[in-house]
């Protein structure tokens, strides 16, 4: 079992080195070649705290290797993760900006011939150096730690100090990974709302701390329904046709392939949504239920 434990720790160390090397490639290849063609904001969006993440990774490698030298029977890997809260603080800004960074990159490649050519040359030289593959690595790192530590835990005897401590460490990191993913999803939702405000004519103000984007349904003929957690947007082409505030809607039904809303003032409005109507109605009803539960909780607390 101890030999398997040694190999599992080995994998943790090797994984950290590869991760850091790819972050360095991200800076050396992409930042070096793109920085003269992008503005300061985009530069910061893409590469803002990558150097700090590299330093963090170097520190982890030192800690991992110090424990590894003690041998599998004495190494206490959990000690390497004592400063998990500080680690999270370093990762969060990057994770929060990830979706916007990827979207901005795609826009640049689609609209700037010089950048498109540079990116093509980078990727032709080494297929592992795709921007999308490199930029996502810090986002995936905490979940990766959880998987690697679980493998070490499986090979750790019950008598070993790492056994109980690693279990706690894995739980903390898993919670941190879930929180990081939540922030990533929140940022993705916020960025989506910003895109709607910019691209849809007559779009109301959408940015709100409690508002989240959930799903878009392409109905064909340039008709799209965007479902938010408290609002439904019906768009034709790039123009807003209808906005439904779910706090003011009493019911939503599927009536012969039409999305039918009934408001508190008894006004009935229908939107043709075809074979996707059932799915859309299900999602909207779930959001209306959650809004009602939130209203009840808020009322009880007051």
CB atoms within 10 A of CB 204: 12
- In the 8-state DSSP scheme, what is residue 28? I
Hey, what domains does the chain have and what are their CATH numbers?
2-197 (1.20.900.10), 204-301 (2.30.29.30)
Residue 278 has pLDDT above 70, yes or no: yes
Q: What pLDDT score does 302 carry? A: 63
235 contacts 241 by C-beta, under 8 angstroms:
yes
Is 0.85 surpassed by the pTM of this model? no
135 contacts 105 by C-beta, under 8 angstroms:
yes
Tens digits of residue pLDDT in 153-199: 999 999 998 998 999 999 988 888 888 788 778 877 888 888 898 88
Residue 288 has pLDDT above 80, yes or no: yes
Q: What pLDDT score does 83 carry? A: 85
Closest by alpha carbon to 211, among 299, 112, 121, 294? Answer: 294
Query: Given pLDDT bands bounded at 50, 70 and 90, which one contains residue 208?
Result: confident
Tens digits of residue pLDDT in 101-137: 988 898 899 899 999 999 999 999 998 999 989 999 9
């Amino acid at each position: 079992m101890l030999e398997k434990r040694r190999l599992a720790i080995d994998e943790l160390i090797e994984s950290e080195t590869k991760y850091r090397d790819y972050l360095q490639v991200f800076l050396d290849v992409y930042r070096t070649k793109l920085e003269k063609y992008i503005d300061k904001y985009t530069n910061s969006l893409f590469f803002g705290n990558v150097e700090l993440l590299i330093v963090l990774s170097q520190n982890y490698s030192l800690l991992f290797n110090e424990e590894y030298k003690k041998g599998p029977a004495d190494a206490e890997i959990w000690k390497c993760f004592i400063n998990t809260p500080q680690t999270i603080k370093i990762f969060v800004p990057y994770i929060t900006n990830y979706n916007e960074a990827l979207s901005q990159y795609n826009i640049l490649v689609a609209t700037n011939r010089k950048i498109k050519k540079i990116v093509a040359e980078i990727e032709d030289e080494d297929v592992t150096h795709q921007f999308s593959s490199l930029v996502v690595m810090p986002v995936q790192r905490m979940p990766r730690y959880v998987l690697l530590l679980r493998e070490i835990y499986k090979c750790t005897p019950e008598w070993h100090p790492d056994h109980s401590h690693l279990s706690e460490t894995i739980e903390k990191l898993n919670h941190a990974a879930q929180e990081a993913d939540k922030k990533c999803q929140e940022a993705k939702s916020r960025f989506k709302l910003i895109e709607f405000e910019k691209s849809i004519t007559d779009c109301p103000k959408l940015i709100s701390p409690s508002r989240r984007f959930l799903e878009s349904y392409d109905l064909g003929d340039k008709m799209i329904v965007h479902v938010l957690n408290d609002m439904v947007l019906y768009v034709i082409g790039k123009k807003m046709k209808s906005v439904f505030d779910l706090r003011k809607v009493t019911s939503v039904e599927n009536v012969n392939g039409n999305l039918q809303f009934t408001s508190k003032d008894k006004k009935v409005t229908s939107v043709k949504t075809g074979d996707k109507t059932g799915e859309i109605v299900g999602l909207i009803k779930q959001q209306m239920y959650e809004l009602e539960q939130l209203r009840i909780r808020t009322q009880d607390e007051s």
